[in-house]
Structure formats: structure tokens, C-alpha cells
Amino acid sequence: MDMQNRIEKYWEGEASRYSEGIWQEVNSFKKLAWSDLLEHYRPAGNPLRVLDIGTGPGFFTLLTAEMGFNVTAVDCSQNMLLEAQKNLEQLGLHAEFLVMDSHTLPFADNTFDLILCRNLTWTLYDPQTAYREWYRVLKRRGRLLVFDANWSLRLHDPERQASYLEDMAEAERRGIHRPGHVDPQEGERIAKDLFLSSRLRPHWDVGALLEVGFKEIFINTNISDKVWNEDDKVVYRSTPLFLVGGEK
């Protein structure tokens, strides 16, 4: 089984668990925090045509649809998209949902004003190709915003692995529940072989975005205080969330 098929199979099994997670975000301060962050970095104009890549259960799709934008949401997992569609319907919102590999998009050049993704790029088997494709479908002055973390760098770095284990021990000591994955062993096997698991980010991304043609780069190496609660900051202390992106 090739890497993309393994990735798709793995995430199909995670859909319902991740869907529960976004409702926790919707019903907390995080919804407004993320909306404010998107509003700050989005390109000018209204309404925008938005592409949410790797939408999962649809959190960014939900936020941008509420902002009045025309949203297309894509994911390689049919189960994730079914959860996303159900979640938007519960709030009376609408978006277009499409199953696809984010490395190869069927859209015409210069289609979208804004491309978003969260916790997706680390799973890509060829992120440089994906960034080139995303640049292609952006309009002139369109923006790409990527939110992610060095989730699997610990698998190649003993010091980071030690910090991760310290975080887990501290979370357990404080009685913080951390939802488990359906198949954590397969998840780690896949992650260890992924390109970005052995690259320090967002430094790698800056070079990649410049190489494909982005003119203005946005970078914030730690946005955790803006969008994470106190439990998140304990569990993910050694893997802060970053923002990296650019304007075409």
C-alpha cells in the first residue's frame, strides 16, 4: 500500500473523534479566537472565495461560512467530509464538500482568494508539490494561511521525544484527559516516514513558499496563547502551534 493510501485509510478511522473535538472548540472561547485570527490575516474584500484544505470535520469551513464567504472544503477522507457536512447542517450553514488529494487540485488557475489549512501539512507526502499547486489556484493578492506544529519531529529528535514524554507525564499528574487515536501505532509508523516529520518548521515552509512564488510571507512561530486553553498548553507544551503563509 502506498503512502497516500495508508494516510487516507488512517484518517477515515479518526473522523468521529475529531468531530467531537471541534464541537468542544465551537462551544468555547476558541471559536471567537480563531475567527479573530482569520479576520486579521485574511485578504481584503468581501465576500471571499475560500478553499479549506484538509477540512477534517469542518471547523475552518464552519467559521468562514459564518463569516459569509463562499467556501469549498476538501479532504482525502470521505468520513471526515460527511462529519463536516453534518456539522455545518446543524448550524444552518452551507459549503461545497469534495473528496480529493490536496497535492492535485481540479480547480482552474486563480480561483480562490484565501486558502486555509490546520494540522494538515505535516501529513503531506510531498508538501513542496502541494504548495506549488495551492499557489496556482490562488488569485493574485490571494493568501495562504497554514496553521500547524512540529507534531512528529520528536520521532527523529531524542530531546524532543524526552520533552514530549515529560508533557504526557505532567498532563497525567494534573488529571488532564488526552483523547487517544484509534490506531496510534500505525499513526506513528506513518508519521515517521513523512517528509515534514524530520524538518524544523515553520523555517522549512518559508523557503518552500518563496520557492513556489509567494511574494509576502507571514510567520508567527507560536500562536498557542491565542487559541489554546490551559490544558492544551500543558499537553502540547513542547509543540507550539505556528502560523506560516503568504500572499501571491
Lateral strand order in the sheet of 138-148: 96-99, 70-75, 49-53, 112-118, 138-148, 242-247, 216-220
Mean pLDDT by 10 residues, the chain (248 residues): 72 71 93 97 96 96 98 94 95 97 97 97 95 98 98 95 95 86 76 93 98 96 97 96 98
pLDDT in tens, 100-136: 999 999 999 999 999 999 999 999 999 999 999 999 9
Question: Which residues are registered as beta bridge partners of 49?
Answer: 70
The pTM assigned to this predicted structure is 0.94
Q: What is the pLDDT of residue 152?
A: 95
**One-character DSSP codes across 128-157:** HHHHHHHHHHEEEEEEEEEEE--TTGGGG-
Q: Which residue from 30, 52, 170, 177 is spatially nearest to 118, judged by alpha carbons?
A: 52
What is the Cβ-side half-sphere exposure of residue 103, based on CA atoms within 13 angstroms?
A: 10
Torsion of CA 237, 20, 22, 83, to 10 degrees: 140
Nearest partner of 140 among 221, 42, 215, judged by Cα: 215
Predicted pLDDT at 140 = 96
3-state secondary structure of 209: helix
CATH of the domain at 146: 3.40.50.150
Task: Name residues whose C-beta falls within 8 Å of residue 92's C-beta, 6 or more positions apart in sequence.
Answer: none
The pLDDT score that the predictor gives to residue 9 is: 74
- The count of domains in the chain is 1
Range of the domain at 23: 3-247
Mean pLDDT of the chain: 93
